[in-house]
DNA sequence: ATCGCTGTATTATCACGCTATCACACCGAC
DNA sequence: GTCGGTGTGATAGCGTGATAATACAGCGAT
């Protein structure tokens, strides 16, 4: 389980954590019942403050993705995978829509956008494969 | 000249202003030499604080997109259009790349992304045409 | 029971984006 | 010169994301 956090990205760190854990559950990298790294471990791995991690875990508990086992750790909820797949789809669709809206309003035409998309997509796939 | 500012977007308001003014110059909506709305007028139009607008104008002066005519207003620099076209391209390409990177790392496959893109693109074009 | 791990809560501090005022300096029109 | 518009600068306050340090409570192994 490897998460990539980028500070000063506009997106709060705890929010990035929430998303990436959801993605991991959606992908099956984290399976229901599995105990994930503790607040302190995760904070140490990512060189974050434990409070920031705790905030992400707390939000994921509210959304019934994680459940806390006091004294033992935090585990993935049973029915979480379906919900996480849906969440991932919605989050990314919204982000994509926001960029395209800005581009269209900024005056870029459809063809130019399509070309940019293909180029960026290939690049993303390439770098994504390098990591794995 | 109609700008759409969205607070709580993650992107600072003054940064949104900078971008949209660049887009307007790139599109030819604002032409070199033209005097744009004053700090106070722009703030009133967008219901922002004059300081926030001034911050955006200040940054655009540093990037040689705007020049201030003290006592008279702020005008678009002569050579600004070419620069703004390039900036627009780069800004949007980066944002697009960021979304696609997150999507690929999150586990979405190429075809699904392409489908999301087409859907979001049509939607953006539709709402974009409604506005104009 | 004790120890070490866990989650949880509290408080303080800092940085930053934004707002709200106010004051000052410059330019053009009258 | 005066007045009204302009850009510019300074100060204070608020909300929030993030850090730091500390304390408390539950669970399991010993």
Subunit contact A92:B110, Cβ cutoff 8 A: no
Which tokens is B35 given? 């005097």
Residue B2 lies in a domain: no
For residue A131, what are the contacts with CB-CB under 8 A and spacing of at least 6?
A: A2, B105
Nearest CA among A29, A42, A33 for reference residue A1? A29
Lookup: nucleotide whose C1' is closest to A53 CA: D18
Residue B3 lies in a domain: no
Which pLDDT tens digit goes with each residue over A60-117? 999 999 999 989 999 999 999 999 999 999 999 999 999 999 999 999 999 999 999 9
- B46 — pLDDT class (breaks 50, 70, 90): very high
A72, A35: one domain: yes
Residue B8 lies in a domain: no
The whole-number pLDDT of residue B9 equals 84
Is residue B41 scored above 70 in pLDDT?
Answer: yes
Average pLDDT over residues A6-27: 92
B91, B105: one domain: yes
Helices (H), B3-109: 13-27, 39-45, 50-62, 80-106
The whole-number pLDDT of residue B130 equals 67
- For A4, the 3-state DSSP assignment is coil
A91, A120: one domain: yes
A21, A61: one domain: yes
A122, A76: one domain: no
Subunit contact A95:B113, Cβ cutoff 8 A: no
Distance CA A40, CA A104 (A): 44
B-chain residue closest to A24, CA distance: B106
Q: Are strands B66-69 and A73-76 parallel, antiparallel or unpaired?
A: unpaired
Is residue B111 scored above 80 in pLDDT?
Answer: yes
The whole-number pLDDT of residue B109 equals 93
Of A46, A61, A81, the last residue of a domain is A81
Residue A4 lies in a domain: no
**What is the residue-averaged pLDDT of chain B?**
93
Distance CA A90, CA A92 (A): 6
Q: Name the residue range of residue B106's domain.
A: 82-131
Of A81, A100, A119, the last residue of a domain is A81
Burial B104-130 (b: 16+ CB within 10 A, else e): bbbbbeeeebeebbeebbeebbeebee
B89, B113: one domain: yes
Mutant choice from A16, A111, A121 vs B, greatest count of B C-beta within 10 A: A121
Taking CB atoms and an 8 Å cutoff, what residues of chain A touch B123?
Answer: 97, 100
The whole-number pLDDT of residue B132 equals 56
A21, A63: one domain: yes
- B7 — pLDDT class (breaks 50, 70, 90): confident
Q: How far is CA A76 from CA A33, A37, A89, in A?
A: 5, 11, 19
Are A14 and A55 within 8 A, CB to CB? yes
Which pLDDT tens digit goes with each residue over B58-78? 999 999 999 999 889 999 999
The whole-number pLDDT of residue A24 equals 96
Which tokens is B80 given? 């600004």
Is residue A132 scored above 60 in pLDDT?
Answer: no
How far is the alpha carbon of A83 from chain B, nearest alpha carbon, in Å? 15
Are A80 and A25 within 8 A, CB to CB? yes
A50, A63: one domain: yes
- Quickly count helices (H) and strands (E) in chain B: 5, 3
The whole-number pLDDT of residue B129 equals 77
Residue nearest to nucleotide D15 (CA to C1'): B8
Residue A53 lies in a domain: yes
């Amino acid at each position: 389980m490897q998460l990539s956090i980028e500070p000063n990205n506009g997106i709060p760190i705890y929010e990035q954590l929430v998303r990436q854990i959801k993605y991991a559950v959606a992908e099956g990298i984290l399976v229901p019942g599995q105990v994930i790294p503790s607040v302190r471990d995760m904070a140490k791995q990512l060189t974050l403050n434990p409070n920031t991690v705790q905030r992400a875990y707390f939000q994921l508990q509210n959304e019934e993705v994680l459940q806390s086992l006091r004294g033992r750790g935090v585990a993935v909820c049973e029915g979480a995978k379906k919900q996480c797949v849906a969440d991932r789809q919605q989050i990314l669709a919204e982000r994509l829509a926001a960029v395209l809206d800005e581009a269209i309003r900024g005056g870029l035409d459809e063809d130019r956008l399509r070309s940019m998309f293909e180029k960026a997509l290939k690049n993303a796939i390439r770098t994504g494969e390098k990591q794995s």
